[in-house]
Amino acid sequence: MILVLAYGAVLLSFASGLLALMMNQRQILLEFSQYWLKKFPDSYKLGRSVLENSLQEGRYSNVLRHAVFMLLGLSGIFAVLAGLSVMLGREIITDQIGLGLPWLPWHVRFDSLSGFFYLIIGIAVTAVSLYGPGYVHAYDENRHPFAVLGLFTGLFVSGMLLVLLADDAFFFMIAWELMSVASYFLVAFQHENPANRHAAFLYLLMAEVGALAIILGFGVLASFSDGFTFDALREAKLSTTWASIAFVLALLGFGMKAGIVPIHVWLPEAHPVAPSHISALMSGVMLKVALYGLIRFCYDLIDTVHWQWGGVVLIIAGTVSALGGILYAMMQTNLKRLLAYSSVENIGIIFMVLGLSMIFMANGHPQLAALGLLAALFHAFNHALFKNLLFLGAGIIQHQTRELNIEIMGGLIKRMPHTSKLFLIGCMSISSLPLFNGFVSEWLAFQTALQVDVLDNGVLRSLIPVSAAALALTAALAAACFVNVFGMIFLGQPRSRHSEKAYEVEDKGMLAGSALLAGLCFFIGIFPGVIIHLINSVAGQLLGQTLPNDSAFGWLWLAPVSAEQASYSPPLVLIAALIAAGISFWYLRRNPATVMRRAEPWDCGFGGLTPRMQYSSRAFTMPLRRIFAKAWIIDERIGKDMQGAMNQDVAAIHYQLQIQDHSWPRLYQPIAQGINKLAKQVGRIQTGNIRVYLGYSFVTLLFMLWVIS
């Protein structure tokens, strides 16, 4: 039954894509239906009338659009049920599908690790299915046909689910490529914009480079085993050298898809240009599929994890990605680009804690390794919730204001009150504030790092506290970043005509999808033990060890190591917050002199506030830009237009600020220049003379005969 649900999720998402193709086949469907109605003459007239009315152009498109997202929503529900069932049952289900080569069928394995990521995908897809119909309704069908968007969305979701089911390298790579290629067409959906085409090309290029690295990583394991199935790869006995090579290849391939620094450059380019619900799936879900691949490779397929090349590398890469990602995010004015860089930060946090888990496992502390793995998976789950919520909120804002530049927004809290509340929950969750889910997983990450005193290695006892300090700084910068985001978008006065005329989105489904995620962010923040209990089954499967003491007093307290060392009780914090709010409300209301009153904001005597007098995003982040100036390539210019006699009077002042990622000029531009030079050298062999080409063929033939003989 569990496998039926897992297969059903894949088939339903695939069916949603096929159904979307019917958007342009209204006449064919009408004729096909009429043919079958003629088989029943008594009902032909009534059936034809009903059919023609239902297949009117506008009604047909609307009904089909909702049907596509309904199938996608059912796919998400099936994925949630399948994931919960296999995690609660702690089962390992295997199967074979005869769709591969005759001698190489597709092997399927559905276990707790697959089920956990099935749960992540299912929740996100369910929310998107509620959100999608209202969002895509704004697209011009002639320029941006829904048939294309719906088809590749279904294939994209199917590919991600199939990756989680794959139990052999051949099947895994087919599903991985389906996921990558389908998402490429979604990134390039609005292809009339050159920036979109550039972002799509960059994404596809890096996706294929990453796929090649993954194939080589599987190849290393396969060369020491009897086949391509994961069972055979698990039996491979690798030396430290070959295990290190396999790990580096896996880290490059999966890390490129996950977006760790410095191989993250596709992510801030692709996410802003994709439709918002696709950006939500890519950032909130697809990055987790890459994380799944790395965990499956390192914890399951490689027989021994060496902390020297595993844990330390992941800690360093995670620390650089977390701190660099949030610093890059703070300097962005495009909302979706900012959220994309924030994903780099959160993926860095997950990698950092995975590195801690590997180090504790390699040094003989399996319980602490289980804590690290649990913290990493819990943060992956939480990130999927609040990052999907924020991207869907960004889509609503863009849908209503036609803007993504936070510098020219403002005042939307009065015009879009429901959206502002949901977006605020997302901002508080990603800022790791208590009572929301992001706080719990980061708290567990800190608890993992604080156990460094059990290690004997001096290098590790120095490295891990530095990483923990960087994690604390990252959390503080993330809070400042999203204070800036929420303040610039929703508070103050409107800075543009679109923001001034904005109003709440009318489609209830768009709010319902966001509300589902916001509710889960709060619920998991109050009752984290629900997810921790599920993740324990994953730790038990991969490490043979569960969290030693995940709860000291049932659901009320969370004590990951011991109640004496550290504990956290979200329900008690909630009760204390409610009591404090009640006392404050009573105190303010008991005396008429202290009752809050509304008044005009203080204008400092200037005679009325204007939008130009407000703080801007760049002004808000300027102190941090001065402190961390070396983190970016900054081009800051101030120009003046002069007038009057001798050009002594200043007519206008122009301020320009450009901030660039170091990765482009330091890494990618030299690679591009080198490839161009190599291409010019290779181009010299193209002489255009047929005799030269025949000579090339003759030399190649002689070489091949020599090799074969």
Model confidence pLDDT, tens digit, residues 558-580: 777 777 777 788 888 889 888 98
Q: Report which secondary-structure segment, H or E, holds 641.
A: strand 633-643
Q: What is the pLDDT of residue 548?
A: 56
**Category of 614 on φ-ψ map: left (φ > 0), alpha (ψ -120 to 50) or beta:** beta
Positions in the chain short of pLDDT 50: 27, 44, 46, 55, 550-553
Q: Where are the alpha helices (DSSP H) in 617-689?
A: 617-627, 663, 669-683
Q: What is the pLDDT of residue 56?
A: 52
Give the separation between CA 589 and CA 328, rounded to whole angstroms: 45
Q: What is the pLDDT of residue 114?
A: 93
User: What b/e readout covers 118-135, taking b as 16+ CB neighbours within 10 angstroms?
Assistant: bbbbbbbbbbbbbbbbbb
Q: What is the pLDDT of residue 278?
A: 92
pTM of the model: 0.89
Q: What is the pLDDT of residue 305?
A: 63
Residue ranges per domain, the chain? 309-543, 664-708
Find how far residue 412's CA is from the centre of its chain: 26
Q: What is the pLDDT of residue 417?
A: 92
Rounded (10°) CA dihedral 614, 616, 619, 625: 160
Model confidence pLDDT, tens digit, residues 428-463: 999 989 899 989 999 999 999 988 888 888 888 888
Q: What is the pLDDT of residue 403?
A: 86
- SS3 assignment, position 637: strand
Q: What is the pLDDT of residue 25?
A: 59
Q: What is the pLDDT of residue 41?
A: 55
Q: What is the pLDDT of residue 34?
A: 55
